[in-house]
Amino acid sequence: MSVQVRTLDDLLHAPLDADSELTTQEYLVNMGPQHPIAHGSLRVVLRLDGETVKHVIPVPGYVHRGVEKMCEHLTYRQIIPYTDRLDYLSAIMNNWAVAKTVEKAANIPTNERIDTIRTIMSELQRLQSHALWWGVTGMDLGAYTAFLYGFREREIIGEIFEETIGARLTMNYIQPGGLMYDIKPDFAQKVKNLLPYLKGCIEQYETLLSGNVIFQERLRNIGILDGKHAIALGCTGPVLRASGVPYDLRAVEPYGVYDKVNFNVVVGEVGDCWDRYYVRLEEMRESVRIVEQLIDNIPEGPHATIRYNEEIILPEGLHYGQVETARGVFGVFIASDGKNKCPIRLHFRSPNFNNLWIVTAIASGWRIADFISIQSSLDLVIPDIDR
């Protein structure tokens, strides 16, 4: 496997090495932007030799809305709802990234209660996101039942979010210096009742899908990405950890109250699609463990340390903050001139963008059906790629 930077034009006109002695014809197949595997609107051009994929050429940009440019006209509080609409399955964690960067730059304090609730909400959302991914992966590989089970848990966790936050998808919850709303008095009890059920659900996932021979055949030893190349391509999250690199921001650079809880960083061995599948299942178990440790003693205190209408002006300079979302490291880079309440430049380092481009390195040589497994195991959210 080699990784080198090639332009779209190079890939389209590169010489083709046929993998058999039979005469084959080279042709290009366009997948997307409207395609069931596109998970939104990703366009992928496959350069094929027979049924073997020679090159994968992703063509993003079908949901590019210019969020980063828009954010130059928005205050830091107004940026938060737009981060919901990037990676909408990790909305709370995206909010946290902006809040964390702003708090660090402007020296806004938080308290123990805020950090604990943020951590619990993030882990619940990680569970919700992985449950959706599990169902959708099953659906992509032909198991519609998995989709129904994945969404069952998603709705149940969603009810807790709805009660506290009032939203099902675009949360807009974590603000600089606090939370949008305080939790309800029975929040802890409801989450506590939910946890044993979720544990049972994860076991059920194993029996429903993991043991299936067809499912294993389609994932095992497909699309192997080794740790060295994973780091070189900048991929993060479960994709990186499946390649055997124990890099998890929650462990190596703890924020919130992650330094006070015990959890394992799950790593894979081979780096194939199966490892990427299983790392996520194990992460769900770890998330349940984290919530279990925190839910019993949520400290008392206010849920916000500054007023919501307080003007936030960051000091002059460059500020960066990052969190671990369900898909990897989500970073916010803010350039401030120290006078305006809006950033002069802003950039989101989105995990999906880097995770997408590894298909150009690992999908060559596999069949089209294997490409579906590979793309499904990467768990891509397209609006996060295009921004």
Partner 1 sequence: MGVALDKLPGIVERFPGGSVAITRLDQAINLARSNSLWPLMFGTKCCAIEMLMATGASHHDLSRFGAEVARASVRQADLMVIAGAIVKKMAPRMRLLYEQMAEPRYVIATGSCAISGGPFMYNSYTVVRGADEIIPVDVYVPGCPPRPEAFFWGLLTLQKMIREGETIRAPGIRKKPVLAALPEDVSIHDIRREIRSALVDENIIDIEKAAREKPWAQKVRAWIRRVSSH
Give the Cα separation of 136 and 221 in Å (integer): 20
∠ Cα 158 161 162 (to 5°):
85
Segment contacting partner 1 (CB under 8 A): 31-39, 205-213, 267-275, 372-380? 31-39
What secondary structure does DSSP assign to 89-127, as a single string?
A: GGHHHHHHHHHHHHHHHHT----HHHHHHHHHHHHHHHH
- What is the closest distance, in whole angstroms, from the C-beta atom of residue 193 to partner 1 in the complex? 18
Which DSSP helix (H) or strand (E) runs through 60? none
For helices 187-205 and 112-140, what crossing angle results, to 10°?
Answer: 30
| Residue ranges in 165-212 assigned as alpha helix (H) | 187-205
For helices 144-164 and 112-140, what crossing angle results, to 10°?
Answer: 160
- Contact call for residue 82 and partner 1 (CB under 8 A): yes
- Contact call for residue 68 and partner 1 (CB under 8 A): no
| DSSP-based helix, strand, coil % in the chain, nearest 5 | 50, 10, 40
- What is the closest distance, in whole angstroms, from the C-beta atom of residue 76 to partner 1 in the complex? 16
16, 49, 281, 312, 379 from 133: Cα distances, Å? 35, 31, 10, 37, 6
- What is the closest distance, in whole angstroms, from the C-beta atom of residue 134 to partner 1 in the complex? 13
List the structure tokens of 320.
């960066």
- Contact call for residue 26 and partner 1 (CB under 8 A): no
- What is the closest distance, in whole angstroms, from the C-beta atom of residue 351 to partner 1 in the complex? 17
Number of residues that bind partner 1 (CB under 8 A): 34
Figure out which of the listed residues 6, 69, 192, 260 binds partner 1, where binding follows CB under 8 A: 69
Figure out which of the listed residues 3, 11, 50, 81 binds partner 1, where binding follows CB under 8 A: 81
Which DSSP helix (H) or strand (E) runs through 329? strand 329-336
Figure out which of the listed residues 111, 170, 305, 364 binds partner 1, where binding follows CB under 8 A: 170
Q: Which is nearer to partner 1, 73 or 307 (CB)?
A: 73
Give the Cα separation of 292 and 285 in Å (integer): 11
Give the Cα separation of 347 and 244 in Å (integer): 29
Figure out which of the listed residues 18, 50, 62, 298 binds partner 1, where binding follows CB under 8 A: 62
Figure out which of the listed residues 41, 111, 210, 216 binds partner 1, where binding follows CB under 8 A: 41
Figure out which of the listed residues 28, 34, 254, 299 binds partner 1, where binding follows CB under 8 A: 34
Segment contacting partner 1 (CB under 8 A): 27-35, 102-110, 266-274, 363-371? 27-35
- What is the closest distance, in whole angstroms, from the C-beta atom of residue 53 to partner 1 in the complex? 20
Figure out which of the listed residues 10, 19, 26, 168 binds partner 1, where binding follows CB under 8 A: 168
- Contact call for residue 383 and partner 1 (CB under 8 A): yes
The residue behind tokens 């709802």 is 81
Segment contacting partner 1 (CB under 8 A): 35-43, 95-103, 277-285, 372-380? 35-43
Q: Which is nearer to partner 1, 86 or 97 (CB)?
A: 86
Q: Which amino acid is at 25?
A: Q
Figure out which of the listed residues 8, 12, 13, 65 binds partner 1, where binding follows CB under 8 A: 65
C-alpha closest to that of 311 among 62, 72, 76: 76
Q: Which is nearer to partner 1, 218 or 387 (CB)?
A: 387
Q: Is the dihedral of CA 31, 34, 39, 40 positive or negative?
A: positive
Determine how many CB atoms are found less than 10 A away from the CB of residue 16: 14
Pattern 133-162, partner 1, x by CB under 8 A: --xx----------xx--xx-xx-------
- What is the closest distance, in whole angstroms, from the C-beta atom of residue 261 to partner 1 in the complex? 29
- Report the interface residues with partner 1, using CB under 8 A: 33-36, 40-41, 61-66, 69-70, 73, 81-82, 84-85, 88-89, 132, 135-136, 147-148, 151-152, 154-155, 168-170, 383
